Amino acid sequence: MGALFSLLVGCDAVDSGPNKLRDYLQRLVRGLDVEVPAAPLVAPPRIVDAALRPLPVAMANLSVLDFLALSGCELQVNLGRRNSSLGRHASASQRLLLDLEFLDLAPGCVEHLSNSDNPELASEIQRIAAERRRLLPLRIYNAVLAGYEFQSFWRLPPNLDNYPTQTSSEVVDALAWLQSAVKGWLNGNTSGSFEQNQALEGHLATLRAGDGGALLLAAAEASRSLQQATGALDASQRLRNLCPGQQKSRRAEIVETVTVKFFAGEVQPWLAALNRRHHGLITPLLELEGHLSAVLPTEYLTWQRKRDSLLATLHLKPKEHVTAIKSALADCPGVPWSGSESSAASGPRDLLQS
């Protein structure tokens, strides 16, 4: 737990979102004259703890004689790649590319063999192609979701610095490309040679440097601090009304100032940026996972539920906190809150009126 605590409260930049949130929490509890409520550390789910392993993919291969009989078929080059020394030790993504090329070339080869009076081999190629199409989701899972690049995408950073200020749109584009490509492959669009499909490797490389882990760490930071801030407001209400007889107390004035200047003015913009990044990353990712839902193993699904539960707090915790602020100052005259309840993560003007 000590290492985890160091991770969660590590050396972020002075003007980072977590530091702004902790500063707001300290000012709020001083204004309310209460202690900082105890709250357990929120541990982001680490994908390495899920111990994901490649799914077994058992595929039939042609005999040597059948391979030699493919003369005149481009498919022979594909099978030669697979049976070479490099092919036998290929990465999961390279094996996926070989299968996609096989599926693209198989119909032409079947037609060629049928016209060359070799219907038995044509039938065997059709059978193998059908098998590879059936097993394609397993190949995709192994190459993408169970791959090193995806695990690197979710690796937790030592601190958040100014996250998500300097994030790259290339990561979002890579996820969108993967989602679209996987959907097309599973729908039968496997056109393209082995070389043309190498774009997959480039997008996986981009994903490797992505910020999924930073998003999880930010959600954990925000969830705990906002829970404490909401708890402080609740504790204060149990002790005393901030505006007895609808008369604004000194504490109420301090709380109003702190929430306007430091929560709405400092914390909310960071929460809004996190929500935008969350939407950009998770929308294509959930679609990608949906395409592969039939083959996702229990280990992945367990980690996925923990991940999504934590990320949901990016919306829920700010909303709960706004409700707590409004409730604590409900009897106070002249409080500049908007009349309708809305998510705090949408920006300060959703909470305050100018």
Q: What is the mean pLDDT of the chain?
A: 88
**What pLDDT is recorded for position 193?**
65
For 298, residues 6+ apart whose C-beta sits below 8 A from its C-beta are none
Q: Residues 241-266: what's their mean pLDDT?
A: 93
Q: Residues 49-64: what's their mean pLDDT?
A: 84
**What pLDDT is recorded for position 8?**
47
Q: Is the pLDDT of residue 5 over 90?
A: no
Closest CA to 285 of 207, 221, 185: 207
Q: How far apart are CA 248 and CA 122, in angstroms?
A: 86
Q: Which two tokens stand for residue 143?
A: 């190459």
Say if residue 246 is exposed, middle or buried (CB neighbours under 10 Å; 0-12, 13-18, 19+).
exposed
Of residues 340 and 310, more confidence is placed in: 310
% pLDDT > 70, the chain: 89
Neighbours of 83 (CB within 10 A): 13
Lowest mean pLDDT among 25-39, 85-99, 128-142, 221-235: 85-99
Distances (CA, A) of 130 to 104, 184, 318: 12, 17, 50
Of residues 125 and 283, more confidence is placed in: 283
Residue 331: CA count within 13 A, CB half-sphere? 12
Q: Residues 191-219: what's their mean pLDDT?
A: 89
Q: How confident is the model at residue 266 (pLDDT cuts 50, 70, 90)?
A: very high
Lowest mean pLDDT among 17-21, 31-35, 55-59: 55-59
- Give the tens place of pLDDT for each residue, 224-235: 999 999 999 999
